[in-house]
Every structure is written in C-alpha cells, then in structure tokens.
Structure 1
Amino acid sequence: MAKADQIGITLRIVIEQPVIGVLHSLQAKDDAPLDPKWSRGGEPLSFDMPIRIAPGPKFFGEQVRREGPVRRFVYVRVGQLAGDPASPWSRRIKIDIHDLDDDLLQRAPLTGKPIELVIIGTAKDGTPTCATAKPIRRGIAKD
C-alpha cells in the first residue's frame, strides 16, 4: 500500500498504576528497548509513537506488530526486556490496536492529538502486567 494512502497519527500508551521502580519501554523493530522509563512513586508512564492508518483500517509503523491477516498490536517491554538486567521480570505487554473504533480513527487526524490507550500496569498479584492487556480507556488525548 502506498504511503500516500496512509494518514499519520500519534498513538499514546498510558500505563496507570505501574509497579514502582520497574523499567518499561517500547519495542523497536530490532527488538531493542525504546524510550525506557520507570515510575518513581506510582505516577503513570506514557509512551508516544507515530503510526500510519490506511483504509480498511490497516495499521503501519515501527512499533506495530502483526499476527495473522487482521490482528495488529504494540508491545511494551517490562523489566529485563526493557533493558534492566537486574529485574526479576522479563515480560511484554501486548496492546491490540486493530480494534480501534472507526470514529476515533477518523477524529484523531482532525484534532492533531494522539489516540490514547490507558492500561493498568500492576496485575492482581502485585507484579507487572504482562500478556494481552485490555485498555480501560480509549480516546483522544486531552493535551
């Protein structure tokens, strides 16, 4: 698909209630940690990434991963995978984007603001979230 048919937007992943002191990062195409950060006092972590959307919708970008013909997602790396070799955790959080609402995808380019997906960063057992995380909120960022 030609890039001319694609619209660029920013996708923001917000991790609320992250485990304090645990490193998180995006995953680059070469599997390296990208934009590593951790919460010092429980404050949310935020990751912005450019993505492109084409009719269908179809999703493209350095952080966009694919599984099968439809599923598209991004990874947030945790602990060792985020670049902290001393961490007891080596995890990834998978966040689906293929199921974003069409209305949201159409409004985002008009506002110039990111689409924001908010997840909870601490699992029920008190450890960092891993596997597929369902967003608790989706919408256009307020800022």
Structure 2
Amino acid sequence: MARADQTEITFRIVIEQPVAGVLHSLQAKDGGPLDPKGSDGGEPLVFDFPVRVGPGPKFLGDQVRREGPVRRFVYIRIGQLAGDAASPWSRRMKIDIHDIGQDLLDRAGRGTGVIETRINGTGEDGTPACATVRPAARRLAKR
C-alpha cells in the first residue's frame, strides 16, 4: 500500500490506576522498551505514538503488532520488560486497535484530535494487568 493512501493518526494509551512503582513502556520496533515511565502514587501513565491507517482499515507503524490477517494491537511492556531489572514482574499488555470504529478513525484522520484508549492498569489480584486488556473507554481526545 502506497504511503499516499495512508493517514497518520496519533494514538494515545492512558493506563489508569497503574501499580505504584512499576515501570511501563511501549514496545519499540526492535522489541525493546520505548519511553518507560512509572507512577509513584498510581497517577495515570500516558503514551502517545503515531499509527498510519490505510483503507480497510489497515494499521501500520513501529508500535503496531499483528496476529493473523486482521488482528492488530500494541504491546505495553511492564516491569523487567520495561527496563526495570529489579522488578518482580515481567509482563506485557496487549491492547487491540483493529476494532476501532471507522467513524472514530475518520474524525481523527481529519486532524481533530487523537484516538485515546483508557485501560485499567491493575488486575483483579492487585498486580499489574497483563495479557489482552480490554479498553475501559475509547474516544477522540484533544491533542
């Protein structure tokens, strides 16, 4: 697909209620941590990154991972995987993006904002959430 057929959209992942003191990061193109950050008091963590969206829709970019012909997602690395060798956790969150509605993609593609996905960063057992994490909310937010 030619780049002329793609629109760059800023995506934002907000991790609400992260476990205090635990590093989180995006997963870089090479698989390592990108932009690690933590929260001392459980304040939300915010990660912004570009995604190219083409017809279909097709999602492309350094943070976009794929599974099968349709599923596209972004990994959030946690603890050791985010660069904290002393952490007791070595986990990843998988956040789906292939299910974002066309209307939201169209509005974001016009430059009216960023696609913000909010997730809960703490699992039911009180440890960092991991595996596939369903969004608590998704919306078009201001830049």
Normalising by structure 2, what TM-score? 0.98
1:92 lines up with 2:92 in the alignment: yes
1:60 lines up with 2:25 in the alignment: no
1:47 is aligned with what amino acid?
F
Report the Cα distance in structure 1 between the residues aligned to 2:82 and 2:26, rounded to whole angstroms: 8
2:34 is aligned with what amino acid?
L
SS at match of 1:105: helix
Report the Cα distance in structure 2 between the residues aligned to 1:12 and 1:76, rounded to whole angstroms: 12
CA contact (8 A) 1:24 1:82 kept: yes
Deviations 1:34-79 (A, max 9, x none): 0000011111000000000001000000000000000000000000
Residue matched to 2:44: 44
Shift of 1:32: 1.1
Normalising by structure 1, what TM-score? 0.98
How many matched pairs?
143
Return 5+ residue gaps in structure 2 as ranges.
none
The CA RMSD over aligned residues, in Å, is 0.8
Residue matched to 1:18: 18
Residue matched to 2:6: 6
- The sequence identity of aligned pairs, in percent, is 70
Return 5+ residue gaps in structure 1 as ranges.
none
CA contact (8 A) 1:9 1:112 kept: no
Shift of 1:112: 3.6
